[in-house]
């Protein structure tokens, strides 16, 4: 069944508690701040994507996953697989927010001997479950992990974040078939539909819409949501938690650079170069936007 969560809460579900939503909005704001701080260390990077998925990661790490921040290998943990390794900057920010990484360590981002390389590496970073980045592999790994967990009788769940660009990869759809075939309802895929990929707008590179209908045709329970609406995300994840019988996918429409007007309107947004003087402007705009939205609520 297809459900599109475009308003504050889906039919038949209760609106989440406002305090819970506000706390997650604050978490997303901090994640954006950490991403800007890391971006400034290198002067460039996948900043736009990090700002775009900050709301998703805030909800996932502060509200959805069961894990122990100081014991990242705890066998009972829910897994989060970053298929898009180049989004590592976003995950480091979320891991700092989640208490897995110290905030101070973010200053080493991308440096020699840092545990935080510019692309996600499982052997380097606590909480980084896989080395992503060769695109189209996260869902296949998630499927294998979920099968293994089921054989072990574990109740742990596997989440994987992939991009709309990864929907161009045949391996993604092979994994989608296998995952549905095995009825792996311990898998949740999250697709960041920011309508952009390295070679240009996703719609121009290779048409993947209608995305939700494609997942449904592959046997998945599919929900589409505004990925920058924290309340809608919470409601959607609450709904997915109760779903049984098939894997589930949350298709998230996000805005590149979300929260920082200067970066929302960049023409070259996939890999962003930001001038030295612009970082403070970006931080000021982030704070200003956050305050304005708070006041408006
Ligand atoms: Mg994309």
**252 C-alpha to center of ligand 1: Å?**
11
Per-residue pLDDT tens over the stretch 125-181: 999 999 998 899 999 999 999 999 999 999 999 999 999 999 999 999 999 999 999
In which domain, by residue range, is 177 found?
3-296
- Judge whether residue 9 has pLDDT over 70: no
**2 C-alpha to center of ligand 1: Å?**
22
**183 C-alpha to center of ligand 1: Å?**
27
Per-residue pLDDT tens over the stretch 96-124: 999 999 999 999 999 999 999 999 999 99
Alpha helices in the chain (DSSP H): 18-42, 47-59, 88-97, 138-151, 170-181, 202-205, 211-217, 230-241, 261-264, 278-296
Q: What is the CATH number of the domain that holds 70?
A: 3.40.50.970
With vertex at residue 230, the alpha carbon angle to CA 78 and CA 290, rounded to the nearest 5 degrees, is: 125
Q: What is the pTM of this model?
A: 0.95
Distances (CA, A) of 179 to 37, 174, 197, 235, 262: 38, 9, 25, 24, 40
Q: Report residues near ion ligand 1: CB below 5 Å.
A: 163-165, 194, 196-197
**254 C-alpha to center of ligand 1: Å?**
9
Per-residue pLDDT tens over the stretch 175-206: 999 999 999 999 999 999 998 888 888 888 99
Name the residue with higher pLDDT: 26 or 271.
26
**202 C-alpha to center of ligand 1: Å?**
7
pLDDT band at 277 (very low <50, low <70, confident <90, very high): very high
Q: What is the share, in percent, of the chain residues with pLDDT greater than 90?
A: 86
| pLDDT recorded at residue 267 | 76
**194 C-alpha to center of ligand 1: Å?**
5
How many distinct structural domains can be found in the chain?
1
Lowest mean pLDDT among 26-40, 78-92, 225-239, 253-267: 253-267
């Amino acid at each position: 069944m297809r459900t599109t969560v475009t308003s504050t809460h889906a039919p038949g579900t209760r609106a989440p508690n406002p305090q819970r939503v506000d706390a997650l909005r604050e978490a997303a704001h901090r994640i954006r701040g950490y991403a800007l701080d890391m971006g400034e260390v290198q002067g460039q990077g996948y900043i736009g994507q990090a700002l775009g998925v900050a709301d998703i990661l805030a909800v996932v790490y502060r509200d959805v996953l069961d894990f122990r921040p100081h014991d990242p290998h705890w066998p009972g943990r829910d897994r989060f697989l970053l298929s898009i390794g180049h989004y590592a900057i976003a995950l480091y920010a979320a891991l700092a927010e989640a208490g897995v990484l110290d905030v101070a360590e973010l200053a080493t981002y991308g440096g020699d001997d840092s545990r935080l390389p510019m692309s996600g590496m499982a052997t380097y970073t606590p909480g980084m479950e896989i080395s992503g980045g060769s695109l189209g592999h996260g869902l296949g790994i998630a499927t294998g992990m979920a099968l293994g967990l089921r054989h072990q009788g574990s109740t742990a769940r596997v989440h994987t974040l992939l991009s709309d660009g990864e929907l161009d990869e045949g391996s993604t759809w092979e994994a989608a078939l296998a995952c549905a075939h095995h009825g792996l309802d311990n898998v949740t895929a999250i697709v960041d539909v920011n309508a952009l990929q390295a070679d240009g707008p996703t719609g121009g590179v290779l048409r993947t819409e209608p995305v939700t209908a494609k997942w449904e045709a592959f046997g998945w329970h599919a929900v589409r949501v505004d990925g920058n609406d924290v309340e809608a995300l919470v409601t959607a994840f609450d709904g997915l938690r109760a779903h049984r019988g098939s894997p589930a996918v949350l298709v998230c429409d996000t805005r590149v650079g979300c929260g920082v007007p200067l970066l929302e309107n960049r023409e070259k947004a996939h890999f962003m170069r930001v001038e030295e003087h612009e970082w403070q402007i970006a931080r000021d705009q982030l704070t200003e936007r956050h305050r304005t939205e708070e006041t408006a609520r």
